[in-house]
Amino acid sequence: MIDKYNIRTDLALEQKERFESDNVEVPGVVLEEEYDEKLEIRTTRVVIQTEKGAKTMGKPVGTYITLEAPNLAVPDEDYHREVSKEIAQILKELIQGEKEEYNVLVIGLGNRLVTPDALGPDVADNLVVTRHIIKEYGKYAMGGEKVHTVSAIVPGVMGQTGMETLEIVKGVVEETKPDFAIAIDALAARNSKRLNRTIQLADTGINPGSGVGNHRNALTEDTLGIPVIAIGVPTVVDAATIVNDTMENLLAALETSEMLKGVGVVLQGYNATEKYELIKELISPHLNGMFVTPKDIDETVKRISYTISEALNMLFANGTCE
């Protein structure tokens, strides 16, 4: 039955929704939801508590918090600052430990030469990094008594470096000895409405390249020896998802047409996963490996990357996690 729900998505929320749409309860998985009417931000927390739940969901045991903000794609600086505050609050919750000063490593995953995959590098570019200043002049050079040490790395992709991202990051971790790492990467969504409007934070680490199905060695506490918090934004959907969403709209239209109602009845006999698999077969081999992104992806990635980096700067550059 698990294979039936093998839908292409990196969002734990969407994976859970696939089960709920068929009224299937997943043991060991808890979902909580909050909605801020003023900011129009929906916060969904998916907690995978057991290994059985993890196997069913296809994701590691841990906490996955998703911010859905439809206005995230709008160039409104005040709104984006509010989103940054929300991200900072969630990060505070996910950080393990109660130290006054942290040594933080931020990892900007992705390929800065490919716009939908440039989120991680763009976030790193906007960070206030402090490790070199503190190492050279001491923490008081930053103007505070409690100062977090922040360093950042953009390891690139294997096609550029010839090395696994894990190999590069592991060497950096061994040398700089951070308390934890924060990895930022682009993701893939199942629902095109969530593109560039959703941010997922998780305490389970991340698989670089997962957004386009190019899974590399995972960056996790098991592989790096330190906790890894992942921040991801869906910037692409695969072609089958676009066609599937179109077919859902077609079915709705067929219900109002007496002449074509019989066609709609046949298609409605398929469940969501069966329709998705049918579409994948119909569009292959030419479009099956195609990923699609919005036309304004350049400015959108730049804007969202700044929103995420501002959250990190709020949390660490001002010298306190309070």
What is the amino acid identity at position 156?
G
Least confident of 6-15, 30-39, 231-240, 244-253: 244-253
pLDDT band at 67 (very low <50, low <70, confident <90, very high): very high
Report the alpha-carbon distance of residue 92 to residue 96 in Å, rounded: 9
CA angle 196, 317, 306 (to 5 degrees): 20
Report CA torsion sign: 259, 262, 268, 274. negative
Q: In DSSP terms, which residues pair with 31 in a beta bridge?
A: 46
Query: Quick one: tokens of 276?
Result: 């998705």
Question: What is the model's pTM?
Answer: 0.81
Extract the tokens encoding 156: 């690139």
| Residue 155 confidence class, pLDDT cut points 50, 70, 90 | very high
Q: Where are the alpha helices (DSSP H) in 95-224?
A: 119-125, 131-137, 158-161, 165-176, 221-224
Angstrom distance (rounded) from CA 264 to CA 273: 17
Q: Is the pLDDT of residue 165 over 80?
A: yes
Give the mean model confidence (pLDDT) for residues 182-208. Answer: 89
From the number of C-beta atoms within 10 Å of its C-beta (0-12, 13-18, 19+), residue 27 rates as: exposed
Which tens digit of pLDDT belongs to each residue from 105-129? 999 999 999 988 999 999 999 999 9
* DSSP H or E run through 66: strand 62-68
The phi, psi pair for 225, rounded to 5°, reads: 85, 5
Which residues fall within 8 angstroms of residue 28, CB to CB, at 6 or more apart?
A: 48, 49, 50, 51, 52, 53, 54, 56
Q: Which amino acid is at 172?
A: V
pLDDT for position 4: 43
Residue 39 burial class via C-beta count within 10 angstroms: exposed 0-12, middle 13-18, buried 19 and up: middle
Distance CA(203)–CA(124), nearest Å, equals: 19
- Which residue, 10, 48, 14, 20, is CA-closest to 210? 10
Whether 225 and 179 have beta carbons less than 8 Å apart is answered as no
Q: What is the DSSP letter of 29?
A: E
Going through the chain in order, the beta strands assigned E by DSSP cover: 29-36, 41-48, 62-68, 103-108, 149-153, 180-188, 198-202, 228-238, 291-292
How do 149-153 and 228-238 pair as beta strands? unpaired
Query: Residue 215: is its pLDDT beyond 60?
Result: no
What is the tens place of the pLDDT at every residue in 306-320? 999 999 999 998 644
The per-residue pLDDT of the chain, averaged, comes to: 82
Side chain identity, residue 122: D
DSSP state string for 5-18: G--S-S-HHHHHHH
Q: Is 158 exposed, middle or buried (0-12, 13-18, 19+ CB in 10 A)?
A: middle
Among residues 90, 292, 275, which one has the least CA distance to residue 199? 90
For position 221, what pLDDT does the model report?
94
